[in-house]
Structure formats: C-alpha cells, structure tokens
Structure 1
C-alpha cells in the first residue's frame, strides 16, 4: 500500500467516522429552516438580540478592569456559555486570577477561590461532616466548591488525591459527603490555573483530569501598549484589590445564554468535520505522515468532539450568529485539542509543540 500524498489526503473511510466531505460537495452551513424531529427549536431573532445585549454588558464590565487579553475573555465566555470548565496556563503575573474574579464580579453569583497547596485535603474542597456536641448529631458543612464560579489557583500544587476530588464535581456537577449527594449550583464553572515553569512541589494533572476541561488557554504576555495602560490604571486605582466591578448581569441572564447557545444550528457537514478531525488524531499516519505521526502518543477522546460541538455553538453566539461555521471549529482547534492530543517524550525533547501537530491535522482534513 502506497502512502497517500500529504497535501491531498484520502477521504476518511467509514465506519468510523463517516467520510469527510470535500469542499465541492459539502452542504452549506446555514440555519435549518425547520428543526428536525427531536431537535430543539432554533433561537428567535428576539432571543438572539437579547443574548447579544447580555454579552455586550459582560464584555463592557470585563474591559472596565481588564486590559487587553481579548482572547482570554473569549475563552472564559465560551466556557461559561457552553457549561464547561477551563484551564489557564501561563507564567506568574499575567492576570489569570484577576480575569477569573472579574468575570465572576460581572455576574451576580457565588464566587469562591481555592488556593491549592500540597497539604490541601479533598474535604477542604468538597466539604465534610462535623459532629455537633449540642445535638449529638453530625451536620454537613459544604465546601467552597459549592459555588457558581470556582477558581482553583495553581491546581497542579495540590496532591493527586485532592485533584481527584474535583472529578465528580466537574463531571457530575455534584459532590458526595458522608454518603449523601449534594448537587452543585447552576451555572457551575471551574477556572483552574497552573504555572508551567515552577515544577518543584507540583503534581502534574493526570490525563483523566485534563480531559474534563472543555478548553485550555495559554495566556500570553501583554503588548507594550497594554502594559503601559496597566500602569496608568494602577495609578488611577482601577486595579486596587478591594475595588470590584459592579454586577452587570444575573444568573437568569447566564441561563438564557446557555439555552440560546444549545439551540445554535450545527450542520451535518460540520458534525462530520468534527468527527473526522478527532479520527485523524487517533490515526494520524496516513494523513500527516509517519514522521509526524510518531510524535503523537494518544489522540483525542470523544470528549474532544463534544467540546468542539458545545464550544463552537458558544463562539457562534458570541459572533452574533445562529449557526456554526467551519471557521468556528478552526478558531477553537488549539483550545480544544492542545491538552487532549498528547505528545511523546521524543516530541518534547525535539521542541515539537502540540499546536504544530494540531495545525497539520487540520490541514489534512478537507474543510466543508
């Protein structure tokens, strides 16, 4: 069997996944005039207009305190609208914590910050049962994870046992304390941060934990102009720790955003595109060549496909559209896949970044 041309990869055979459509035959990604049986009705123009107004209110409140970091704002909003969780990674001092607390301030909701340390216990996060001597009974005290917005600062400093305590909360939206199940409030968003340059006293997140984050954002240094503005805002007192932005929207507004986003139309061609991309991450050799394929240790799980579906709907709503475009999937490729396409030690030794492999995977799959 001859190796296919790297520039014109063959159509992915099915099953799995269904054949990737060619650019010439792919149906246009336009809203469905009538929802198929069992599908939710498409959002109305009035709902889209109201959602756009809510998003503008949140963005304006965010920008009142945050300087630049537009990509970070988009990632946080996509996670909130899609009902997922986000992992932020950067060197210290790039306003990861400030961004998370500012977003929480814009919504009239519960916000808790957990500073992760090696001695942090699972019960410090989820809660515990405490004996009440006055009544002779145990009472349950819920932990800080029972909030709408939970900031896990430096999550990789907590032990593996403590990290695992977050799995049930992130995936099932509930905690179990003393055999009793306690549901978490809605919406529920975990914003975790980690520092990639300090490895002493840290515990690398396991693959199962990483996969539960909808997105992973790498926060970059600000531009010189943004950094100059940061200094000006410090002098004006805007960035004082005790100065918070006013709550701009309510939980009902967030529920509206999530409901409207869940009804954003995704064409079958887009769904096929998503499945095809996930398939290529698991079977890369025929599409990106043996040389590059050897750098991939594990491909993306089906959670990647689900993440693309949910996040693309949220991104389309942010852009004021009631339908998803292929460009939405491409814009999300690094956010969704950088923590799911795991590379080998050899790739790390040769300085190969996951973003490079992801770009090659996208180049090998025809865009609908």
Structure 2
C-alpha cells in the first residue's frame, strides 16, 4: 500500500503545524526543527554536536510537548551505570517479588546529554533500545513505546575526559547535525522574552503520540522508485571506494537514507521521493558514518568534501526505472 496524494497533503500540513509549534520554543532554527521531526517520524535518532547553551534541551522538550509525549534527560557522566539508563530490578520484601523500576530511557523523547562523557559500557546500554525500541533487563524485555527517539548531544569543545563514540553506535543515529547560535533577530526575540525560563512549557500539543505513530506508518509507505534506490546504492558504493575513507556508508546507512527521504518528501506534500531529497539529506544522514583514512584526515580532507565530490561524480537518475 502506497501513500496517496490526499494522505501526502495531510502529512505535509500536519508536519508544518508541528514544525511551527516547535519553532515557538526554538527560534530561528526551522531547518533543524524539520530534521528533528523527520528523524522522529522516520523512527530514528538524532545526534547534535554543538556548544553549550544553544537550545538542545529546549528542542527535546518542545518536541515532546508538541506530540503530547513524555521526555526525560540523562546527564551522561563517567560514573553513570547502565542500570541508571535502562532501569533496575529491585526485590520488594512486602510482596516478596522482584519489581522492575524503569529508567529514564522509557520516554518518548530522551535527551542523552553529553553522551561521550560516559564509559563505553554505559554507552552500549543504548544500543539495543536505539535499534529495537526495547530494553532487556534480567532476561525480561520491555517495550519503549512509540514514538521513541534518542536525542544525544556531544560537546565539540571540551574533549578532555570523554570517550569517543564507536562507529557501531554512530551508525545507529539517523541524523547528525547541530543547532548553532540563533541569528541576530532571533537573539533579540529571545532576550525580549528572557523572563520566560522555558518556552516549551507554554506549548500546546498539536497531535497525540498515537497520531505520530500513524504519521510514521504513512511516511514509511511513501513511494521510492527503483531508479532512486539504485542512485542511493551507487552513492554508498562510491563512498566506500573513495581512497580517503577506510569505511564508507554502510547498508544501515543506505536504509536510513531511504527512510528519511520518504518522510522528507511526504513533509513537502509528495507521495514519491526525488533524487533531490537524497542530495538534500546526504550530509546529515551520511557524513557521521565515514571512517576516514588517517593520512587523508591529517591532510585536511573532511567527510563533507568527500560527499560533495561523490554527489558530483555519481549521476542522478533523470527518469523512472524502465522508462
């Protein structure tokens, strides 16, 4: 079953309402808001690499408030344990039974703040729940619910005492981007409303979490022509064959692109994906998956430069497959 024109129109209108509502709390960052919504509706996760004080927490809270969902914030520190994230089973002497106390990972929008400050053991506690939206503790599996999105942050400035995210975990983030500082006009608006500590608390919900799950299912039904799928495959192969990379885009990364492009196209009212959708999302979906050759990295070659060259070399399809 594919997305109809009427469904695509409804999807785009609802997406715009969601973006406008979140934009009331995160001023001047429409593109980042749209990327975050795309990640949520594609049932993926987002990694924000940004300086402190740019509105990462506000974005997470605004998303949760907009979809009438729950949100939690986990401050990752070197002494954080996996059970502090997932939860712990405790023996209740009154009932003489073990009870599972859910951790902060059980929320619709989870802000994993400064994720690279926790040990690799604690970071790995996120792997199962990010991939399968469920947590297994003491042999018992607990569903995380829908929607479920991890919004992790990294501070690019202070690297002392941090643990680099392994490639396997980076590959599980659908999108990597940054919020950045607001422009002059947005900054003035923020300063004018400085008395409001948290703008997200003033947001009214636009839809329910059940409606978000329905939107995610609609987005997944969007049509992707075989020619576009072949284009994505050729781009991924080109990143793997680039002499400056040790690892290019994985198969998981290719699937992530298709999922994100479906939602991105539906958000623009289309019930089909264009090659331009792939080009527009390529940087945020793919560059964090590259493993650079050390010599190329030392010479100043960046993933963005490699991707730009690949997009220029691999020709985009001009017609549908078989036409």
**TM-score under structure 1 length normalisation:** 0.83
Mapping of residues 280-295 of structure 1, within 5 Å: 280-284=238-242, 293=243, 295=244
Query: 1:298 Cα deviation (Å)?
Result: 1.3
Aligned-partner SS, 1:309: helix
Distance 2:201 2:143 in 1: 32
Q: Would the alpha carbon gap of residues 89 and 242 (structure 1) be closer, same or farther in structure 2, given more than 3 Å must change?
A: closer
Mapping of residues 68-83 of structure 1, within 5 Å: 68-83=28-43
Query: 1:242 Cα deviation (Å)?
Result: 8.0
Aligned to 1:311, which of 254, 260, 280? Answer: 260
Query: 1:59 Cα deviation (Å)?
Result: 1.6
**TM-score under structure 2 length normalisation:** 0.94
Distance 2:137 2:74 in 1: 19
Aligned to 1:214, which of 170, 174, 186? Answer: 174
Aligned-partner SS, 2:193: helix
2:39–2:260: 8 Å Cα contact kept in structure 1? yes
2:58–2:198: 8 Å Cα contact kept in structure 1? no
Mapping of residues 184-195 of structure 1, within 5 Å: 184-195=144-155
Aligned to 1:272, which of 219, 222, 230? Answer: 230
Q: Would the alpha carbon gap of residues 282 and 80 (structure 1) be closer, same or farther in structure 2, given more than 3 Å must change?
A: same
Distance 1:114 1:53 in 2: 33
Tell me if 1:240 matches 2:240: no
Structure 1 unmatched runs, 5+: 1-40, 285-292
Structure 2 unmatched runs, 5+: 318-323
Aligned to 1:229, which of 180, 184, 189? Answer: 189
Mapping of residues 1-368 of structure 1, within 5 Å: 41-235=1-195, 237=196, 239-240=197-198, 243-284=201-242, 293=243, 295-368=244-317
- Deviation track 1:280-339 (CA, whole Å, cap 9, x = no partner) reads 11112xxxxxxxx2x212111101110110000010011111110111000011111111
Distance 2:13 2:312 in 1: 36
Query: 1:241 Cα deviation (Å)?
Result: 6.5
